[in-house]
Amino acid sequence: MQGSRTCAPAAAGTLTTVLGAALGGNPTASVGLTAVNGTATTYLRSDSAPALSQAIIPTWTGQHAWTQTLLAADSGYSFSGATNMTFSRSGNTMVFTTAGTERARLDANGLRIFGPLPACILIETDAAADEGAWRFSANSRAAQHRALNDAGTLAADYLTATRAAGATPTITAVSIGNSTDTPATTCHGAFTAPRVIVSASTVATNGVYLPAANAVGLSANSTLTARYTSTTFETILQTLFSGVTSPAQFTANQNDLAVGNVTVVRASSDASRNVSGIAGGAAGRFLIFINVGAQPIVLTNDDAASTAANRFLLASGTSTTIQAGGACIL
């Protein structure tokens, strides 16, 4: 027998059977995250399907593979939630925003990151623990390069560049290393600068230091090496060290010669003249004496013509003659 058989109680203790044809119906409920028990007596047609509710918030337990590509005409994908993240594309420009604020943009000019403290962190996955994190950031007109621990709670600067305020990009300072680690710095190739600034250290332990105002000291266990091509040695010295004096031509022997707090002395004489000492000496002071004249100048060793504090104690134990065009580093 076609159709359906329905049994329904007509009264207490009585069962009535009704024969009739079942009817098809379109789905009226939506697919959600929980089962819905229906009450309709109609059946679901073979070419119909219930709608998927857009209000569901599922917890995905499996991995999803997306095959749909983002086309140039697409406005983007939005991820709604507490942060309201949006990823969009317009032509060859990709933009990432959170809470309506642009955070990153990728276009023909490169990747730009926006924020009060924009940063990019590189993580080397095959490095040992706390040895593979590097951070590049910008803050208050300064670009900083740092080494980090894995948690990002410890940092050590190795390069910082500071720019001046204004529309024209101008670098005012570049700092290499930091005062805690004091790392060794190696320069490969040519290095040209109008001046070299040394921190105001008074400890003559290593390298170049400042024993006094406007004076440069070279520690006992350090070596000064000058290499040049077509530039004269005198020009190189004037470039490297600030403070140059050119006293009047010597027409007599000079005792307790006063040159001030300078690094380079350019002297000349009318004949062979002696210089027995220089006033204002200080422990560790660095002085370059250049003979720019045509006659020799003799630096006399431990000469009593000058006071004891101003005399030369030369390494050879004898007087040193600086010929025309020559120089002596004291």
Q: What is the pLDDT of residues 221-256, one digit of tens each?
A: 555 554 444 445 555 555 455 578 899 999 999 999
Beta bridge partners of 269: 250
CB atoms within 10 A of CB 131: 11
How far does Cα 218 stand from its chain's mean position?
A: 30
Query: Can you tell me the mean pLDDT for 58-69?
Result: 76
> Which one, of 139, 251, 235, 164, lies nearest residue 194 by Cα?
235
> Does the pLDDT at position 198 exceed 90?
no
**pLDDT more than 90, % of the chain:** 30
Q: Of 44-58, 62-76, 210-224, which gets the smallest average pLDDT?
A: 210-224
CB 265 within 8 A of CB 248: no
The residue that leads in pLDDT, 206 or 165, is 165
CA quadruple 50, 54, 56, 61: dihedral positive or negative?
A: positive
Confidence tier at 2 by pLDDT (50, 70, 90)? very low
**How many residues make up the chain in this entry?**
330
Alpha-carbon distance 42 to 26, whole Å? 9
Alpha-carbon 13 to chain mean position = 90
Strand, helix or coil for residue 310: helix
Please state the rounded mean pLDDT for residues 60-87.
Answer: 64
Split at pLDDT 50, 70, 90, the class of 45 is: confident
CA proximity to 302, closest of 319, 287, 288, 283: 319
What is the structure's pLDDT at 113? 92
The closest alpha carbon to 116, from 103, 107, 99, 105, belongs to 103
Phi (first) and psi of residue 157, to 5 degrees: -70, 140
| Average pLDDT for 64-89 | 62
CA 166/CA 163 separation, integer angstroms:
9
Q: What pLDDT was estimated at residue 92?
A: 82
Can you give the pLDDT at residue 272?
94
Q: What is the pLDDT of residue 16?
A: 52
- Evaluated on CA atoms 310, 315, 317, 320, the torsion sign reads negative
Dump pLDDT digits (tens) for 80-127. Answer: 555 567 777 777 888 888 888 888 999 888 999 999 999 999 999 999
CA angle 43, 49, 53 (to 5 degrees): 120
What's the confidence (pLDDT) of residue 128?
95
Closest CA to 304 of 271, 260, 256, 259: 256
Cα(327)–Cα(194) distance, integer angstroms = 21
Instruction: Confirm if 116 and 137 have CB atoms less than 8 A apart.
Output: no
Residue 3 and residue 22 in contact, taking contact as beta carbons nearer than 8 Å: yes
Cβ proximity of 158 and 178 under 8 Å:
yes
Average pLDDT across the chain, whole number: 78
d(CA 173, CA 143): 11
Whether the predicted pLDDT of 19 surpasses 70: no
Rounded CA-CA distance 135/157 in Å is 9
CB 245, CB 264: distance < 8 Å: yes
What would the pLDDT profile of 294-313 be if each residue is shown by its tens digit?
999 999 999 999 998 888 88
- Cα 98 to Cα 114: distance, rounded to the nearest angstrom: 11
Q: Give the confidence band of 282 by pLDDT, cuts at 50, 70, 90.
A: low
* Residue 99 vs residue 19, higher pLDDT: 99
* pLDDT band at residue 210 using 50, 70 and 90 as cut-offs: low
Predicted pLDDT at 140: 83
Give the residue-averaged pLDDT of 47-70: 81
Contact 297, 322 (CB under 8 A): yes
pLDDT greater at residue 273 or residue 264:
273
